[in-house]
Copies of this chain bind each other. A is one copy, B any other.
Amino acid sequence: MMIHALADVKSKQIGKDTRVWQFAVIMEDVIIGENCNVNCHTFIENGVRIGNNVTVKSGVYLWTGLSIADDVFIGPNVTFTNDKYPRSKQYPDEFQHTRIDKGVSIGAGAIILGGTNIGKYALVAAGSVVTKAVPAHAMVMGNPAKIVGWVDTDGTKMTALNENTFLDKANQKWILNNNELNKQ
C-alpha cells in the first residue's frame, strides 16, 4: 500500500498494493480492495465500497451510495450523482444507490445518474450521460446514453453476425435476448 504524503486519507480499510496519490481525500468509512490505483485530485465519501484492481482517474468524486466491483476503470472527470432532485441544503431520506459491476470501464467525462446499475464488462463511451441501467457487455454512447454495440471482456467490440448474434475474438457466439447477452 502506498498513500502519498500529500493525500488526506482517514480510512484504515485500504487493501495491499493499492496506491493513493496526491490531494486524494478518502473519508473514514470507506473500504478499498487490493491493487487499486486512486489518482490525484479525487474524493471518496463515507459509505463507498470499492473492490480489487480498480482504477480511479483524476477528477473523479465518489459519493455515498456508490459501490464498485473488481476490475473497474473509471476515466478522468467521470461524474457520479446520488440525488435525483438536488436542492441545496435539502437532503433526501436516503441517497440513491449506484452499482458498477465487475470489469466495467467508464470513459472520460461520462456522467452516471444516481440509482443506475452498470452490468459487468459494459463499456460507457467517453462523454456519455447514463440515465438508466446498462446491461452486461453493452457499449453505450451519447446523451442520453444508448446501446451501440456489445463488447468482450477485454473491451473490444464483438462482430455482429445478425441482429441477435455476436462473435467474440475467440470465435465464440453470443446470443442477445431481451437486452441480455449470453454465450451460446
B residues near A113, Cβ cutoff 8 Å: 126
Residue with the greatest number of chain B CB neighbours at <10 A, chosen from A88, A107, A126, A127: A88
Question: Once the chains bind, are A156 and B107 in contact (CB under 8 Å)?
Answer: no
- A25 interface residue per 8 A CB criterion: yes
Min C-beta distance of A131 to chain B, whole Å: 8
Q: Are A155 and B85 in contact (CB under 8 A)?
A: yes
Contact A88/B54 with A40-B25, A143-B142 known, Cβ cut-off 8 Å: yes
Of the candidates B43, B75, B79, the one whose C-beta lies within 8 Å of that of A126 is B79
A166 contacts partner chain B, Cβ-Cβ < 8 Å: no
Q: How far is the CA of A91 from the CA of B77 in the complex (A)?
A: 20
The dominant DSSP class at the A interface is loop
**Does A174 make an interface contact (CB < 8 A)?**
no
Tell me the residues in window 21-39 of chain A with beta carbons closer than 8 Å to chain B beta carbons. 21-23, 25, 35, 37, 39
Within 8 Å of chain B (Cβ to Cβ): is A95?
no
Docked CA distance A35–B88 (Å):
10
Residues of B within 8 A of A88 (CB): 53-55, 71-73, 103, 105
Residues of A83-99 whose CB lies within 8 A of B: 85-90
Flag whether A154 is at the interface (Cβ < 8 A).
Answer: yes
